[in-house]
Structures are given as structure tokens and as C-alpha cells.
Structure 1
Amino acid sequence: MPFQRFVESGRVAVVSDGPKRGKLVSIVDVIDQTRVLVDGPTQNVPRTQLRLNQLHLTKFRLKIPHSAGTRVVRKAWNDNKIDEKWQESVWAKKIAAKEKRAQLSDFDRFKLRRARSRRNKIRTAAFLNLRKASSRDGTLYGKKKMAKGGDKPKPTKKSKPTKPQKTAPKKK
């Protein structure tokens, strides 16, 4: 099934536009193809209508009837611990990280760049050491090098006697 999140009563959504941007709301009722009635009991969003293109649907859903009152929505919201689930979601963590990056000063960005540079140098050195070690023992490309001739020890080379070197005659 291609779609997982449907516009339905009880669906939790994030307001993406307007004065309530970033707030969590629950869809209470569908007005028509483009508008829904929403309520955000813990986010200080009063019951109001919003356009669907102002909402981003989340995976969370409350079990509430159509046109449920604010008390019913608030009780279902608190029983399902939507605020805690939202804070643990990857989506909320990305939004928080984006806001934190936007608050950085020039000096903070400089310190962050220096820390990343140091981390990358350490990581690169460790990677090169591992690659060098795996290249030596033959596991770099996933294969162990086999010694030629099986388990026989390699014969040692016999040194040849060296001949005395002839020197060129000295010029006068």
C-alpha cells in the first residue's frame, strides 16, 4: 500500500505555515477536500480550521470520534503520550538540530568547523592504518593470501660469494 498516513479524525499533524508553525495539532473533523478542523490541546492551538497544505501529517493517530470536544481530544492526547512520542521521533530531533544550528554564532561555527577537522584527521589516520594492515595480511579485498606450495616453509636464499670489484685506474 503506497500511502500510510491518511487525513482522518484523530490524525496528529504538524502545522507547516502561518502563525502556529511548528505546533502539533490533531485533526478533529474534515470540512471539505482542502480544509480540516484541528485542535491542539497541549500546544495552545485553539480549535480552528486549517488548509491541508498547511499541515504535515505524522504517523501518530488518536482514537477519537468525529467532531470530538477539546476535553476528549486532550484526554486522548495525554493517554497516548503524543508529546513524549513526538520528542523521541527522528522528525522532531531534526527540527531541534536545525533550530540549534540556526542559533550558532560565528565563533560557535568556527569551533564546530575546527572540531570536525580534527575528528576527520583522526578518522582518516585510523582508516589508513587499518587499510595498510589489511593490505599487508592480504585481507584488503576480502581474500586471504594463500602461501604458494601449501603449508611448506619457504626455502631461504643461499648467498653467493661476492667477487672483488675492479677499480678504474687513477688518472695522473
Structure 2
Amino acid sequence: GRTSSPVTMSFKRFVEVGRVALVQYGEDSGKLCTIINVIDNNRVLVDGPAPLTGVSRKAISIKRLMLTDIKVAAKLNANQKQLMGLWESEGVQGQWDGCSQAKKRKAHAARASMTDFDRFQVQLAKTERSAKRQKA
């Protein structure tokens, strides 16, 4: 006979109520929001909460969102006050700041804001590091 083995799912981030997402482009680009209702296959209702993230309640295309691993225990159509309480009690901003996606975005932004002299200093540091490695 066949033996049963635990099934592992390949997808871990689902479009679901309470999922925290990052807006990738458009007017709220780079801001976090929470999915509070699924409208259809292509759109969801999101809310920031606005005082914490700057995203007001609105319908948004799923294509504009990058889902995160963070999920809050929000109810369907949760209001802003409930979301604020959940975000603060579950430390969502701290979780986001500690995740690899946020660190990569921060590093990319820092690299993009470098001046010509900063790039020159990085080049010198890399050359020096390479020389030390070759000696060792």
C-alpha cells in the first residue's frame, strides 16, 4: 500500500485578509498596507492604517502589491482603529524592519543615493580588501 507523507506547500504567501503587503508602484509606492478584504481575482481592499503607514483605505490591484511573510489577525473589513491596535500589539513595523526584503530595499536606496565620491571611496575600500585577501 501507499504510505502517507506530510504534504508541504510550495507557496507560503497568500492573498488573504490580514496579510501585510508592500505597494510596489503608484501613488503609495514603498509603503506597507494591510489587506482587509478581497474584492475579486484582481483587486483587494487595503488600509494602512493611514496614521502609521500613510496608506488610506482603498481598492488596489493585486499586481501593485508585493506580499510579505507578515500577517496580522485582522477581521474582514477591519476599521482603522482595530488595525492600529493590531499593528502596535504585534509589532508589525519592527517585523518589517527586521526582514530581508526591507534590508534589501534599504541597501538599494542607500546605494542609489551615493555620490560620485562615495562610489570612489567604495572602490578604494574594495581594492584594499582584495589586496589583503591576496596577501593572506
Q: TM-score, normalised by structure 1?
A: 0.72
* CA drift at 1:125: 1.4
Paired residues for 1:52-131 under 5 Å: 52-126=62-136
- Indicate yes or no: 2:51 matched with 1:5: no
SS where residue 22 of structure 1 aligns?
Answer: coil
Gaps of 5+ in 1: 127-172
CA distance in 1, matches of 2:26, 2:134: 46
Counterpart CA distance in 2 for 1:125 and 1:89 is 36
Pair member with larger Rg? 1
Query: Aligned to 1:110, what secondary structure does the other structure show?
Result: helix
Which of 33, 38, 43 in structure 2 is aligned with 1:30?
A: 38
Please give the TM-score of this superposition, normalised by the length of structure 2: 0.91
Q: Distance in 2 between matches of 1:91 and 1:124?
A: 33
RMSD of the alignment, in Å? 0.7
Higher RCO (C-alpha under 8 Å, 6+ residues apart): 2
- Which structure features the higher share of helix residues? 2
Distance in structure 2 (CA, Å) of the matches to 1:96 and 1:63: 27
The number of equivalent residue pairs is 126
- Unaligned segments of structure 2, at least 5 residues: 1-8
Q: Secondary structure at the match of 2:47?
A: strand
What is the CA-CA distance between 1:95 and the residue it aligns to? 0.4
Q: C-alpha separation between the residues in 1 aligned to 2:48 and 2:13?
A: 19
1:114 Cα deviation after fit: 0.6
